[in-house]
């Protein structure tokens, strides 16, 4: 159910032609926002309640609504239509997309994902596109990639533990993750390839199959709360790192190659992807521990995520993720003629 008072909900929806009586159904999606499916005799819609901006002041409502307005103006298929927003209520209305989260990631799904990013950037030189802001945690310099991981590691290692599970997190990060981080920084410090110029693209930012819906073989794409201009290498690395619906290494190579061909102005980014992927893997280890930050935990609870056992569950997920990718095994990743030793 929506967290909005009934009169505020009906007033907001009525201003956009959606009238009571309204059936409200909570949607099991979203870890930062409360999502509700609304329906009446005339149709069905999505109400998204974002809550106030986070501790950094990031405007998730404004970011997503503006990005979807751009996609609508550019006639990009496979996304929700923005209907209306109310900044005072921290909520927005969108058209309802059909489909369910895919259970199996196919080569065709990878192709559709690459084609979507290409379509998003096809009108990147228009005034509406250029007016969009940088992505949250966007990278404009190669050092920005390092800073994202370092900042998250620092916040975890400087936790003031209030419980045994928080003590375990701080010990894990300080004793295991930070030494691996230092080794990665030393490796990248000697790499000229990592310093190659960045050509920004428009990015959904939190891009992966966890934010897609599959209907009759076609994907739709959701969640643009952190979207904006960003380094394509960061988009690719995050796409490869996403833990909820992971992709294979072959699918990662496919996505990187297809995106490079579809956006020739960014150049061949496969070498930078291979170099910076371990940094983003480590960043994702930290992201899985977001619940240990009070602001992130508040957003999860606002979105309706159950609190019982949440910290323990995320600790186990993060530990497994680190061990699966940094367990001392090395694997050679070869893309577009480049071969690099990447710690996995």
CATH number of the domain to which 39 belongs:
3.30.200.20
Structure tokens belonging to residue 293: 């930050």
Residue 339 has pLDDT above 80, yes or no: no
DSSP SS3 for 188: helix
Residue 210 has pLDDT above 50, yes or no: yes
**49 with 161, same domain?**
no
Residue 101 domain-assigned?
A: no
Residue 159 domain-assigned?
A: yes
Least confident of 51-60, 65-74, 125-134, 158-167: 51-60
The angle subtended at Cα 96 by Cα 91 and Cα 102, nearest 5°, is 110
Which of 46, 75, 95 is the endpoint of a domain?
Answer: 95
Residue 158 has pLDDT above 80, yes or no: yes
Which of 68, 95, 122 is the endpoint of a domain?
Answer: 95
CB 22 within 8 A of CB 38: yes
Residue 158 domain-assigned?
A: yes
**150 with 38, same domain?**
no
**126 with 188, same domain?**
yes
Predicted confidence at residue 197, as pLDDT, reads 85
- Rounded mean pLDDT of the chain? 89
Which CATH number belongs to the domain containing residue 296 in this structure? 3.90.1200.10
Predicted confidence at residue 266, as pLDDT, reads 94
Which of 51, 70, 95 is the endpoint of a domain?
Answer: 95
Residue pLDDT, tens place only, 238-259: 999 999 999 999 999 999 999 9
Residue 313 domain-assigned?
A: yes
Q: What is the DSSP code (8-state) at residue 191? A: -
Average pLDDT of the residues in 142-163: 93
How far, in Å, CA of 122 to CA of 128, rounded? 12
How far, in Å, CA of 314 to CA of 87, rounded? 32
Distances from the Cα of 94 to the Cα of 18, 124, 322, angstroms: 11, 23, 37
Residue 100 domain-assigned?
A: no
Residue-number span of the structural domain to which 91 is assigned: 6-95
Residues 6+ apart with CB under 8 A from 17: none
DSSP SS3 for 46: strand
Residue 336 has pLDDT above 70, yes or no: no
Cis peptide before 21 (omega within 30 of 0): yes
Query: What is the pLDDT confidence band of residue 263, given thresholds at 50, 70 and 90?
Result: very high
The total of structural domains in the chain comes to 2
Torsion of CA 296, 154, 62, 304, to 10 degrees: -10
């Amino acid at each position: 159910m929506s967290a909005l008072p009934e009169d505020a909900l009906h007033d907001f929806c009525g201003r956009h032609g959606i009238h009571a009586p309204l059936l409200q159904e909570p949607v099991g999606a979203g870890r930062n926002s409360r999502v509700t499916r609304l329906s009446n005799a005339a149709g069905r819609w999505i109400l998204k309640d974002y809550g106030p901006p986070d501790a950094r002041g990031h405007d998730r409502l404004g970011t997503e609504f503006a990005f979807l307005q751009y996609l609508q103006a550019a006639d990009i298929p496979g996304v929700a239509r923005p209907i209306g927003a109310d900044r005072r209520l921290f909520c927005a209305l969108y058209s309802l997309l059909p489909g369910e989260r895919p259970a199996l990631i196919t080569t065709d799904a990878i192709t559709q994902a690459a084609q979507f990013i290409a379509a998003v950037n096809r009108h990147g030189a228009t005034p509406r596109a250029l007016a969009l802001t940088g992505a949250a945690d966007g990278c404009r310099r190669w050092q920005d990639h390092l800073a994202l991981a370092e900042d998250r590691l620092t916040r975890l290692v400087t936790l003031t533990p209030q419980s045994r599970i928080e003590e375990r997190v701080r010990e894990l990060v300080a004793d295991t993750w930070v030494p691996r981080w230092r080794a990665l920084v030393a490796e990248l410090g000697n790499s000229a390839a990592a310093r190659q110029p960045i050509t920004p693209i428009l990015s959904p930012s939190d891009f992966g199959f966890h934010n897609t819906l599959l209907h009759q073989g076609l994907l739709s794409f959701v969640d643009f709360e952190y979207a904006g201009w960003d380094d394509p290498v960061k988009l690719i690395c995050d796409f490869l790192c996403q833990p909820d619906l992971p992709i294979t290494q072959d699918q990662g190579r496919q996505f990187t190659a297809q995106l490079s061909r579809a956006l020739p102005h960014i150049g061949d980014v496969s070498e930078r992807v291979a170099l910076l992927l371990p940094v983003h893997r480590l960043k994702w280890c930290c992201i899985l521990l977001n619940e240990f930050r009070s602001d992130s935990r508040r957003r999860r609870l606002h979105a309706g995520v159950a609190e019982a056992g949440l910290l323990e569950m995320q600790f186990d997920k993060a530990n497994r993720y680190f061990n699966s990718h940094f367990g001392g095994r090395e694997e050679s990743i070869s893309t577009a003629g480049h071969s690099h030793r990447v710690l996995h």
